[in-house]
Amino acid sequence: MTNPITSSGLEGIVVAETRISDVDGEAGRLVIAGHEVERLAATHTYEQAVVAVLAAGGARSIAELQLAAARVAAFELVPRLGDALGQPDAMDALRTSLGHLRPTGDDTADALAAIGAAPVFVAAWHRTRTGAAPIGPDASLSHAADYLRMTTGTVPSAAAVKALDAYLVTVIDHGLNASTFTARVITSTASDLISAVVGAVGALKGPLHGGAPGPVLDMLDAIGEPAVAEPWLLAELAAGRRIMGMGHRVYRVRDPRAAVLETAVRPLASRRLELARAVESAASKILRERKPDRPLAANVEFYTAVLLDAVGLPREQFAATFAVSRTAGWAAHVLEQRRTGRLIRPASRYIGKLP
Ligand code: COA
């Protein structure tokens, strides 16, 4: 390499061509499998969105019903997960549990197995840690309804199912984010889809990627009422901490998914919604004054926190719920990488001692 480019965060470096999704950070536009995210969330169930992203990635044609069958098959593994469900962190539990799936060498089959297993394992983790027995899937329910039912043990309201379904569709894929890149790097070595998904869960766990919504809810709780928002946020910044749910590597305007989720949670009349709006507006104002050259607006995690709380999921399960949806996106990228990519092997610049 004669003129190496150094970019420690790889911003702006294109390492794949994709038909799965496109993020336009300047315009605040997200296209998934040929649909604007706003339209996809309004017209597709999660099952339909899974079919769309897997098809975009080049999967064999699959039927929506196969997802329910995959949940049922995954539940048979639950008694054999050993101490995976005893992990204190839901993402660690999900990573370890997914590691129990056996790669078959057929990416489409492995994709279905992983997408079906994620909600089953996360719900079983919740039940186990609260001292209750895991609840088996009901194949007659939608992915969203069954995930809620397996977690809470009660039949969820139609409004909660609709909101969660909109969430699962909205976050199903998002360009070459850190976890998707991880999945593609693993696939590029000719490894299997299950390994790629397990690695992606590890990348998603961090608070700079998927781990922010729990802390966003903690922040809303700590603020409590709109009048306290500004002084609380100023104290947070003075302590050298970032405002969770604000800022994005790619978006220079408000994340379009924030608006989709804000709309989806409205029918649930969440008491936190008004507070969240007030905190977002105070945070935007403060960050605009602090960083006039770096637009820092609400990202997807801000209203994810409000929505997942309103549908009745515990905050410890928020990041893992993101993974429940995103497993489909990761799987689609694995399929696409397998068909079109080559070994991803960047370079580093040696700055150590010379012999
Ligand atoms: N609160 C306060 N300041 C923030 C901020 C936030 N949420 N996000 C970025 N900044 C500041 C940084 O401190 C940095 O300031 P500096 O130049 O004085 O050091 C500047 O804005 C640029 O930040 P940088 O870390 O280069 O941006 P990035 O593209 O690497 O980071 C995120 C993007 C998402 C990691 C970052 O905005 C963040 O940490 N947000 C909070 C966590 C979060 O919501 N994660 C979910 C992402 S979907």
pLDDT at 287: 97
pLDDT the model gives residue 184? 98
Task: Report how far apart, in Å, the C-alpha atoms of 19 and of each of 23, 34, 35, 55 are.
Answer: 12, 8, 11, 9
| Residue with CA at minimum distance from ligand 1 atom 29 | 249
Q: At what angle do helices 158-170 and 300-310 cross, to 10 degrees?
A: 160
Distance separating alpha carbons of residues 300 and 254, to the nearest angstrom? 9
Q: Give me the chain's average pLDDT, please.
A: 95
Give me ligand 1 centre to Cα 247, in Å: 5
| pLDDT classification of 190: cutoffs 50, 70, 90 | very high
Contact status, residue 193 vs residue 111, Cβ threshold 8 Å: yes
- Say how many Å lie between the CA of residue 240 and the centre of ligand 1: 12
Residue 279's Cα: distance from chain center in Å?
A: 23
**What residue ranges line ligand 1, CB within 6 angstroms?**
207-208, 212, 242-249, 287, 291, 294, 296, 299-301
Distance in angstroms (rounded) separating the CA atoms of residues 169 and 151:
19
272 vs 49, higher pLDDT: 49
Query: What confidence score (pLDDT) does residue 212 get?
Result: 82
Average the pLDDT over 50-64 and give the result.
94
pLDDT class of 12 with cuts at 50, 70, 90: confident
User: What is the model's pLDDT at position 271?
Assistant: 81
pLDDT at site 300: 93
Q: How far is CA 271 from the centre of its chain?
A: 24
Over residues 346-355, the mean pLDDT reads 95
Cα–Cα distance list, 105 to 108, 187, 193, 238, 250 (Å): 9, 12, 8, 52, 34
- The full set of domain ranges for the chain reads 21-209+316-340, 213-310
Given pLDDT bands bounded at 50, 70 and 90, which one contains residue 2? low
Tell me the average pLDDT across 50-56. Answer: 97
Domain covering 213-310, topology = Cytochrome p450-Terp; domain 2 (1.10.230)
What pLDDT digit, counting tens, does each position of 192-224 carry? 999 999 999 999 999 888 888 889 999 999 999
Distance 50 CA to ligand 1 centre (A): 30
End-to-end Cα separation, the chain, in angstroms: 22
Q: In terms of Cα–Cα distance, which of 319, 1, 12, 322 is closest to 169?
A: 322
The pLDDT of residue 3: 64
17 included as an active-site residue: no
Percent of residues, the chain, with pLDDT higher than 70? 99
Q: Out of 236, 301, 333, 336, which one is annotated catalytic?
A: 301
pLDDT of residue 207: 86
The Cα–Cα gap between 322 and 88 comes to 18
Query: 248, 262, 280, 333: which is the annotated catalytic residue?
Result: 248
Task: Give the other-Cβ count within 10 Å of 164's Cβ.
Answer: 28
300 Cα nearest atom in ligand 1? 48
In this predicted structure, the answer to whether residue 1 has a pLDDT above a threshold of 60 is no
What is the pLDDT confidence band of residue 7, given thresholds at 50, 70 and 90?
confident
Which residue has the least CA distance to atom 34 on ligand 1? Answer: 248
The reported pLDDT for the residue numbered 211 is 84
Homologous superfamily of 21-209+316-340: Citrate Synthase, domain 1 (1.10.580.10)
How far apart are the CA of 351 and the centre of ligand 1, in A? 27
pLDDT digits (tens, 9 = 90+) for 79-137: 999 999 999 999 999 999 999 999 999 999 999 999 999 999 999 999 999 999 999 99
Average pLDDT over residues 270-284: 93
- Tell me whether residue 248 is one of the annotated catalytic residues: yes
Going by alpha carbons, the residue nearest to atom 24 of ligand 1 is 249
Taking the whole predicted model, whether its pTM rises above 0.85 is answered as yes
- Displacement of CA 166 from its chain's centroid (Å): 13
* pLDDT at position 269: 74
